């Protein structure tokens, strides 16, 4: 008498759902990588050969229309010092990275430097301002 086994173990593996998952992940990373922009405000930075790297605390932007931005939030020139003071409140040696369009008058750059110096004098801190540049070609 021959007894046959009815429950056979199948050795194949269905990969159709795995390929769907891979394509979904690919689409997700392609979309998110194009949305991430390190410089949210488009500027033409001045050129320089110097390579100063620092851990930035606050980034201040000045666009070609002389508008001030702290991070991505636009601020007026009169409230620049107050807004910077709020951002630098818990630190004694912060770094303010100034990203200014190359067409901006020097006075607007000096306004940011003066605001940081005033904060340093009031709070007895040692915050620095670094001007961001692009490498020369």
Structural domain boundaries enclosing 120: 47-135
In a domain, 37, yes or no: no
3 state DSSP class of 111: helix
The answer for 124, left when phi > 0, alpha when psi is -120 to 50, beta otherwise, is left
pLDDT grade for 115, boundaries at 50, 70 and 90: very high
pLDDT grade for 38, boundaries at 50, 70 and 90: low
In a domain, 82, yes or no: yes
| Pair 122, 114: CB distance under 8 Å | no
Angle between helices 80-87 and 106-123 in degrees, nearest 10: 50
In a domain, 23, yes or no: no
pLDDT grade for 134, boundaries at 50, 70 and 90: confident
**pLDDT value at position 41?**
62
User: How many domains does the chain divide into?
Assistant: 1
Mean pLDDT lowest among 54-58, 90-94, 103-107: 54-58
**pLDDT value at position 114?**
92
pLDDT above 70 covers a percentage of the chain that reads: 83
In a domain, 52, yes or no: yes
In a domain, 39, yes or no: no
pLDDT mean over 90-110:
87
In a domain, 85, yes or no: yes
In a domain, 8, yes or no: no
CATH of the domain at 109: 3.30.420
């Amino acid at each position: 008498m021959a007894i046959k086994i009815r429950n056979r173990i199948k050795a194949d593996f269905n990969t159709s759902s795995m390929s769907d998952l891979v394509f979904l992940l690919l689409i997700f990373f392609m979309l998110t990588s194009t949305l991430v922009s390190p410089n949210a405000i488009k500027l033409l930075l001045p050129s320089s050969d110097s390579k100063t790297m620092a851990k930035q605390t606050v980034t201040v932007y000045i666009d070609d229309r002389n508008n001030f931005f702290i991070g991505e939030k636009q601020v007026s020139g009169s409230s620049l010092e107050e807004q910077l003071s709020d951002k630098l409140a818990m630190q004694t040696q912060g770094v303010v990275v100034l990203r200014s369009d190359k067409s901006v008058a020097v006075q607007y750059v000096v306004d940011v430097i003066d605001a940081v110096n005033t904060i340093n004098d009031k709070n007895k801190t040692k915050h620095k301002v670094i001007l961001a540049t692009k490498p020369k070609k």
